[in-house]
Structure 1
Amino acid sequence: MPFKGRERGNMSFGAKSASRFAAPRDERSDGYSGGSQERSWRSERPPSRGPDQGAPSRRPFGDGAESKAVGITVESGLVGRIIGRGGSKIRELEESSGSRIKINKGEYECEVSIFGTSSAQQKAKEMIEELVSDGNSRIRNGGGGGGGGGDDRSVWSSSQVKAAEVAPARPQIDWNSIRENKDKFEELKWQDLPPLQKYFYKESSVVSMLTTDEVNEWRKENNNIFVDDLKEEGEKRQIPHPCRTFLEAFELYPEIMENIERVGFVKPTPIQSQAWPVLLSGEDLIAIAQTGTGKTLAYLMPGFIHMDGQPVSKAERGGPGMLVLTPTRELALQIEAECNKYQYKDYKSVCIYGGGDRRGQINLVKGGVDIVIATPGRLNDLQMNELINLRSITYLVLDEADRMLDMGFEPQIMKIILDIRPDRQTVMTSATWPTGVRRLAKSYLKSPMMVYVGTLDLAAVNTVEQTIVILTEEEKKAYLFDFIRNMKPDDKALIFVGKKIKADDLSSDMCLQGLAVQSLHGDREQRDREEALKDFKESRVRILVATDLASRGLDVADITHVFNFDFPRNIEEYVHRVGRTGRAGRSGAAVTLVTRENWRMAPELIHILERAGQEVPTELVLMAERYEKHKREREMFPREGRGGGRGGGRGRRDRDQNWGF
């Protein structure tokens, strides 16, 4: 005979229903159904008895008479504490108290009903209150009988309940006062800093004897070195003469000279010659130079001397002395290798980057380091969790600043610098000088000097032969494989693509044709990325397919060809890609495939080619002319061709046909 009294999925509470609550524990549901108010953690609502319903046939919990249910209300976000993983906590509560607990899930609040004897109910209620009590949550008492009725079973008095429901008023923050007293708060933050020494330069007698004309002539002959004082107020400072030899810069530092002689360098690069006297004089510096011109060594050597010359000993600093922020893991690892190559005073360095062993990096920092080379994201993570001390930093380097801004790291850089003492010495390096880099320099450098090699106008290196090929998207892959078949046995090619999936596709196609190839992009595991780079550096593979991840800081001196399978997103990236070859005085070649989708880049590309003395294809000139004409017409008739819906695509195709595509 079917059961009577079933309503919305709940059985009437008779003998059969009561036996359900007496069932062995492994027959109960362990899952938290959640979602709507009609669904409970035990699959059904707490049973309520009507006047015509019989008592349960057995009493599974407690020794005394069972009281009516005590109901309490808990915020939905805290109910997980009561349930536990897989229902483990609620079973523990029932076993410890001798009660039965049921939870009805609501959107904002959950109703917790406790069944059993009075003592069991009270014990369970106290245990639940302890679980969810954190100073912010609120528990409200419901009544008996599944949550209806008064609060006669509550262990709280009515005054306590009322007091608990009154939210304390939050103090208002006076932002105007904070802004007005910003300088005062800044001064309080840094009032206990140890002393700082920044000047370590003694000009060589040979350098001091140089006349102004001799200095100007030398700078002109060495890639047009320009130096400027960016101090905005007061009298301009005298710019130090360049150090034309290593001895002129480091005569007072024999250990530095020993390292240089051991490595076998003959003479400084132009950026090093002019940067070293500026940095050893304690000035902030902006170094603008093309890739592969020795910027890393330009800031590392003065950094070693700076740390060694501080009045506070290494043991008393309580943290690292030098921080180098850099955009990519590969560049960070490369800088760390440079630090290890020019070991000075047993300084320890650590490389901190996302994708690496976080716990291992933290342990290295806690073990004591002098130089931190880091990507902004991972360092900001350690900083926010107070796992690294940045107050001890006195020498800060923002390496490849333009690339860090392109990658969106400015918020992390700002947070990091907030915890570095304001009277530090700061170095910024960049290959370009866009507006974002100028803003960053103005914010975080104090009266810097600028050293730039060549010109502030963007220009690709003139040691690279640049070839532009205009074709369709469908023809690109065939052209690439023709290029690879014509490579000589000693050639080494870096192939740039625009998307990670394209890098995998091309490298797979090459593998199927029996070619030894590696790929490098951000979705690969860090271990695989390091292996790919190592294979390419050591010439186990002579073809590397990469995204723009490899356009900065990839220090492989014997790359003979750069192949731009996809045109880069901006002209700055084109310059950086091309700069991966023709390094350290070698010659190189760059092949760039251009399709009609790249026409807006044509005018800027022509400018780069002309500055580097390269041949400009006629097709590229025509493409640039069509784009300039199109741009002028859009300015004259701004609404023309801007249709919405399905007509937009057709209008664009028609417009492209009009421009001769």
Structure 2
Amino acid sequence: MAVEIQNFEDLKLNRQILNAIEELGFTNPTEIQRKAIPIALAGHDLLGIAQTGTGKTLAFATPLIMKAKYAQGEHPRALVLAPTRELVIQISNHFTSLAKYTDLRVVTLYGGLGPKLQLEALEQGVDIIISTPGRFLDLYKKGAIYPRGIKTLILDEADKMMDMGFMPQIRNILELIPVKRQNMLFSATMHDKVVTLTEEFLEFPERVEVAPQATVAETIDQVLYEVPNFRTKLNLLTHFLEDDSFERVIVFVKTKTIADNIAHYLDRKSLGQVRVIHANKGQNSRINAMDEFKEGHIRVLVSTDVTARGMDVSMVSHVVNFDVPLIYEDYVHRIGRTGRAQNEGMAITFANKLEMQHIPRIEHLIKEKIAQKNIPDQVTVEKTPFGEEQEMDKAIDDMRKRADPSFKGAFHEKKQKFRDKPGGAKRGRGRKKRR
């Protein structure tokens, strides 16, 4: 009969790790930790399916630290791959904290800054590398990494890696490291590309699924507002930020330009300290903004999806989806920034009539209905500019045409009606011929 795991001591972890876990304030293991750690310690390949915020980093970090034990040699014995620099930094911080009573050397590799310091760290010897796929390959090509000693490979956020097109780089890395090794793959969802990766990557894996795929934590209250246009979205966001209960807010948007514009707008409104992070921001700027936000010095963080999975902040009161994400899994990861560590949080989504077309698909993915509310009476609803209206109508038509090729479209009909108006369509046709 299997022993029921109630605390970290039951997981047979060594005293160094237990002391580090205790100092981090963790008392009892989460479900993914209870299930995954014994499998990893036994040396089996592991497929872990868990939503964000479930404690999966500790689930793979502790057995890897146990296995590596102490500093040994000059070359890496384990490799952890993650899709973004933010997530790499977050994982590295966890490893550093958990391994504080060991002499293991953890080196973090990511792009966005020169490789000099990373090369120097590798030259001093390394046991565990935590890296983005691209930077690992770049430094390997420079001769800075000897990969033949790697015995453990972990892929975190595998679904995001596939969405970001990392499959070729991962295949290249698999060719560089020994075939005989332990593999662990963690993902929030199991779409087709991830299934393909697991078939190539894992050998008879033990599967651990702690929640249905793409479910949302029960501590998150979700609400949806249908908002006609960009300007009204700004008015609604301002209305919410005038409420003091919006203490620490992340606003997710779809483009870098929109992020910058919203941050400037909120700055002018004097609604609290605002910072923006996206791919065009320098690495130090992004790290500093995250640190200030975690410490509570910044009230509003405006971000593109680059940080949706790489952000570990336990006290985010609200997440606002200013734009609806077109990769539906990103909805789960965005709103997973709130309601963490058993704290309650709220996720608010603004959707214009085009974005409302995507809401039923998101609801299908998360297997629940998002409560819809009316725009508060105090919020000014702006008239939608002609260009914005036309762009939405055309995009809706394009979506319907893809679903039904015989559909001609409302946008097509509107143009036809305009042509039928006197002087509308035939403008220019009645000109006199030149003599």
Scaled by the length of structure 2, the TM-score of the pair is 0.85
How far residue 513 of structure 1 moved from its aligned partner, in angstroms, is 2.2
1:319 to 70, 75, 80: 75
Closer, same or farther: CA 640–467 of 1 in aligned 2, 3 Å? closer
Name the CA distance, whole Å, in 1 between partners of 2:404 and 2:263. Answer: 45
For 1:348, give the aligned amino acid: R
Closer, same or farther: CA 598–339 of 1 in aligned 2, 3 Å? same
> SS at the partner of 1:336?
helix
How far residue 497 of structure 1 moved from its aligned partner, in angstroms, is 0.5
> SS at the partner of 1:327?
coil
1:368 to 109, 116, 125: 125
Name the CA distance, whole Å, in 1 between partners of 2:256 and 2:244. Answer: 24
1:470 aligns with 2:226: yes
> SS at the partner of 2:190?
coil
> SS at the partner of 1:314?
coil
Name the CA distance, whole Å, in 1 between partners of 2:399 and 2:95. Answer: 52
1:306 aligns with 2:67: yes
Name the CA distance, whole Å, in 2 between partners of 1:399 and 1:506. Answer: 31
How far residue 613 of structure 1 moved from its aligned partner, in angstroms, is 6.5
Name the CA distance, whole Å, in 2 between partners of 1:382 and 1:395. Answer: 19
Query: Which residue does the alignment assign to 2:165?
Result: 408
Residue-by-residue CA offset, 1:395-451 (whole Å, 9 max, x unaligned): 111011111111111111111121111111011111111111111011011111110
Name the CA distance, whole Å, in 1 between partners of 2:110 and 2:2. Answer: 46
1:651 aligns with 2:412: yes
For 2:12, give the aligned amino acid: F
Query: Which residue does the alignment assign to 1:638?
Result: 405
Query: Which residue does the alignment assign to 1:600?
Result: 357
Name the CA distance, whole Å, in 1 between partners of 2:98 and 2:399. Answer: 55
1:518 aligns with 2:275: yes
- List aligned pairs for 1:154-553, cutoff 5 A: 208=1, 243-250=5-12, 253-308=14-69, 314-315=72-73, 318-343=74-99, 344-456=101-213, 458-473=214-229, 474-488=231-245, 491-514=247-270, 515-553=272-310
Name the CA distance, whole Å, in 1 between partners of 2:321 and 2:23. Answer: 37
1:576 aligns with 2:338: no
Scaled by the length of structure 1, the TM-score of the pair is 0.57
Residue-by-residue CA offset, 1:574-594 (whole Å, 9 max, x unaligned): 111111100010110011001
Answer with 274-283 or 342-351: which moved more. 342-351
Identity %: 35
Name the CA distance, whole Å, in 2 between partners of 1:386 and 1:441. Answer: 29
Contact 1:243 1:277 in 2 (8 A): no
Query: Which residue does the alignment assign to 2:313?
Result: 556
Contact 2:225 2:374 in 1 (8 A): no
> SS at the partner of 1:530?
helix
Contact 2:109 2:129 in 1 (8 A): yes
Contact 2:82 2:161 in 1 (8 A): yes
Specify every segment of 5 or more residues in structure 1 that has no aligned partner in the other structure, as ranges. 1-207, 211-241, 620-628, 643-648, 656-661
Contact 2:76 2:127 in 1 (8 A): yes
Name the CA distance, whole Å, in 2 between partners of 1:289 and 1:596. Answer: 32
Name the CA distance, whole Å, in 1 between partners of 2:244 and 2:413. Answer: 39
How far residue 606 of structure 1 moved from its aligned partner, in angstroms, is 3.3
Contact 1:551 1:576 in 2 (8 A): yes
Name the CA distance, whole Å, in 2 between partners of 1:601 and 1:359. Answer: 44
Name the CA distance, whole Å, in 2 between partners of 1:479 and 1:406. Answer: 31
Instruction: Indicate the structure (1 or 2) with the bigger Cα radius of gyration.
Output: 1
Name the CA distance, whole Å, in 2 between partners of 1:492 and 1:653. Answer: 44
Residue-by-residue CA offset, 1:585-612 (whole Å, 9 max, x unaligned): 0110011001111143132233357x45
Specify every segment of 5 or more residues in structure 2 that has no aligned partner in the other structure, as ranges. 376-395, 417-435
Closer, same or farther: CA 540–635 of 1 in aligned 2, 3 Å? closer
Residue-by-residue CA offset, 1:284-312 (whole Å, 9 max, x unaligned): 00111110100000000100111229xxx
For 2:72, give the aligned amino acid: K
For 1:638, give the aligned amino acid: P
Name the CA distance, whole Å, in 1 between partners of 2:164 and 2:317. Answer: 28
How far residue 280 of structure 1 moved from its aligned partner, in angstroms, is 0.8
How far residue 654 of structure 1 moved from its aligned partner, in angstroms, is 6.7
Contact 2:82 2:88 in 1 (8 A): yes
Closer, same or farther: CA 266–469 of 1 in aligned 2, 3 Å? same
For 2:81, give the aligned amino acid: L
How far residue 618 of structure 1 moved from its aligned partner, in angstroms, is 9.9
> SS at the partner of 1:596?
coil
How far residue 255 of structure 1 moved from its aligned partner, in angstroms, is 1.9
Q: Which has the higher contact order (CA 8 A, sep 6+)?
A: 2
How far residue 630 of structure 1 moved from its aligned partner, in angstroms, is 8.5
Contact 2:69 2:104 in 1 (8 A): no
For 1:560, give the aligned amino acid: S
> SS at the partner of 1:582?
coil
Residue-by-residue CA offset, 1:223-242 (whole Å, 9 max, x unaligned): xxxxxxxxxxxxxxxxxxx6
How far residue 508 of structure 1 moved from its aligned partner, in angstroms, is 1.0
For 2:136, give the aligned amino acid: L
Closer, same or farther: CA 528–209 of 1 in aligned 2, 3 Å? closer
Name the CA distance, whole Å, in 2 between partners of 1:608 and 1:636. Answer: 19
How far residue 355 of structure 1 moved from its aligned partner, in angstroms, is 1.1
Name the CA distance, whole Å, in 2 between partners of 1:353 and 1:554. Answer: 16
Closer, same or farther: CA 481–254 of 1 in aligned 2, 3 Å? same
Name the CA distance, whole Å, in 1 between partners of 2:217 and 2:8. Answer: 25
Closer, same or farther: CA 297–638 of 1 in aligned 2, 3 Å? same
Residue-by-residue CA offset, 1:236-294 (whole Å, 9 max, x unaligned): xxxxxx6332111125x222222222323210000000001111111000111110100
For 1:395, give the aligned amino acid: T
How far residue 453 of structure 1 moved from its aligned partner, in angstroms, is 1.0
For 1:285, give the aligned amino acid: L
Query: Which residue does the alignment assign to 1:144?
Result: none
RMSD over aligned Cα atoms: 2.6
> SS at the partner of 1:469?
strand
